[in-house]
Amino acid sequence: MIALVPQYPFIIAGTIKDNICYGIDRDVTIDEIKAAASKAYIDDFIESLPNSYDTLLSEDGSNLSGGQRQRIAISRIFLRKPKILILDEATSALDNTSEKYIQRQIEKLQRENKTTIISIAHRLTTLENCDSVLVFDKGHIIQKGKYKDLIEIPGTFQDMYNGKIK
């Protein structure tokens, strides 16, 4: 029902296939795994490896880049199809092109499965299509609204948007 993709995802010592299927309580076909990897924009990388989906990963995925670890973890959500998805800086290590592609896939997952997504992000472009954005400061909500509205209203969000606050 609930899935979490943190900034520093959990990677087990095992194959890429084992990591994509981690926590899934059903039999998963290789076609489903490949489709999930494609939606997470990591399929070309995996298929370029000599052992493809059977490539062994080290504990914590130290033989992967940060972006590759994030995309492995993002692959899991496409198999899980959760009702609630929490993305905690889940695309922070990705380039803009990869992030946009994955964001479109996550939005499609949201529409198809009526998934509620809670996205925690410092990269404001991640929040562009959110129904509602909450801006926090010291644990308190200081602004609330739609992305397009908040960039027009003087305050913390607009300052972040304009690069005045990092």
List the catalytic residues: 89
Residues 6+ apart with CB under 8 A from 46: 16, 37, 52, 53, 55
CA atoms 56, 78, 148, 145: torsion sign = negative
Residues 6+ apart with CB under 8 A from 135: 141, 142, 143, 144, 150, 155, 156, 157
- Phi, psi at 54, each rounded to 5°: -95, 10
**How many CA atoms lie within 13 Å of 7's alpha carbon, on the beta-carbon side?**
8
Identify the CA nearest to 20 among candidates 78, 102, 98: 78
H or E element, residue 76 = helix 66-80
